[in-house]
Amino acid sequence: MISKKIQKALQGSSAIRAMFVEGKEMAARFGAEHVYDFSLGNPATPAPSAVNDAMRDILREADERGAVGSMELHGYMENAGYEAVRRAIADNLNKRFGTDFDAHNITMTVGAAGGMNIIFKTILNPGDEVIAFAPFFGEYRGYADNFDAVLITVAPDKETFQPDLSDFANKITENTRAVIVNTPNNPTGVIYKPETMRRIAAILEDKQKEYGTDIYLISDEPYRELVYDGNQVDFLTKYYKNTIVGYSFSKSLSLPGERIGYVAVPNEAADAEDLIRGIEISNRTLGFVNAPSLIQKAVARCLEEQTDVAFYDENRRMLYEELTKLGFTCIKPEGAFYLWMKSPVENEEAFVNEGKKYHILMVKGTAFGCPGFVRLAYCVSHETVKNALPAFAKLAAAYGLRKE
């Protein structure tokens, strides 16, 4: 008999993953070129060639060093990861954002998902509250549940998709242990404005004083470098000292299957040394032990590399312009690779099902805690976007938005 928790998890199993499976089935039935799968954030751009080159070089260098090289590359290591890798990341962050990290502030993680889980394990007691701004990455629910914490959600402003900060202030209680910020945002593509971040920080400072607690701001940032039109994403430690950064190379270097990211804890965070040691231990006790070794070394050599943002930008422009012309209401993405679109009918699940009739796969907003909207992941080939446009025209016509 499986546990009650997992029984519950199976019932609410990820809508995105379910759609991924459905997309594969539809592709087998109708041919991949006739299915427009915008469901999963799986990057269509290849990893920069420097990544594979680095992996080959690292393997060759290990071979040249014989048994010592093999042990160094394939053996156990510190739970936080290779010191040289962590130092390279700290130096890179210091150069880009004026921080003062050294290797000990960085823990290498099994992607952002691994990072979030080891942070949660380190700071949460059962019953603690974690606040997420809707719409949010649906997996946060499962991560909070792993540690018997309660996920509390804050409503967005449905025009701008910046968070509603009066709702935020009202939701903070003496049990609030953490607040998650994800900007550029999955699923909206919105970047939180500096003013939003300043106000979030001010509210948190006030509430910490009011309750005599520490509230950590967790910056979940897999999309930091995926920004358009010259937009910038601030490094959030500059607003609020109790910030913990969780980064991932899954999207920035198109490496989601490699499972690599890091957590950065600044020295000025409350109980920073305990946090850092706790995060390292959690990496071990949750069974990750350490982030995969070869890809750790490879990303450390590719910190100046970037995925092809122009590729996503072309999809972004094409999809936003064409869908808007067809009469759909879309939020213009400023970053990440998602388009957030209003469902023409209140029940967006019905709209998602209607889309499937035209072989368009979208994810319902309810999966992100925000009904009435859908998400399109445009990290697909240009052809998929182009070929999908006539299908979207039919879908628009089905709702009387604009005639074909």
Contact residues toward ligand PLP (CB under 6 A) are: 41, 111-113, 137, 182, 186, 220, 222, 248, 250, 256, 261
Least separation in angstroms between residue 254's CB and ligand PLP is: 11
Q: Which is nearer to ligand PLP, 222 or 266 (CB)?
A: 222
Alpha helix locations (H) across 239-381? 272-285, 293-300, 309-325, 348-357
Provide the token pair at 204. 């948190």
Least separation in angstroms between residue 180's CB and ligand PLP is: 9
CB 180 within 8 A of CB 246: no
Least separation in angstroms between residue 111's CB and ligand PLP is: 3
Question: β-pairing, 338-342 with 330-331?
Answer: antiparallel
Residue with tokens 């949660």: 120
CB 233 within 8 A of CB 224: yes
DSSP 161-204: --B-HHHHHHH--TTEEEEEE-SS-TTT-PPPPHHHHHHHHHHH
Least separation in angstroms between residue 210's CB and ligand PLP is: 29
**Chain CA centroid to CA 242, Å:** 20
Q: Which is nearer to ligand PLP, 207 or 224 (CB)?
A: 224
Least separation in angstroms between residue 366's CB and ligand PLP is: 17
Q: Report the residue closest to ligand PLP, judged by CB.
A: 111
Q: Which is nearer to ligand PLP, 26 or 363 (CB)?
A: 363
Q: Which is nearer to ligand PLP, 15 or 393 (CB)?
A: 15
What is the DSSP code (8-state) at residue 32? G
Q: Which is nearer to ligand PLP, 246 or 355 (CB)?
A: 246
CB 363 within 8 A of CB 16: yes
Q: Which is nearer to ligand PLP, 153 or 250 (CB)?
A: 250
Least separation in angstroms between residue 229's CB and ligand PLP is: 21
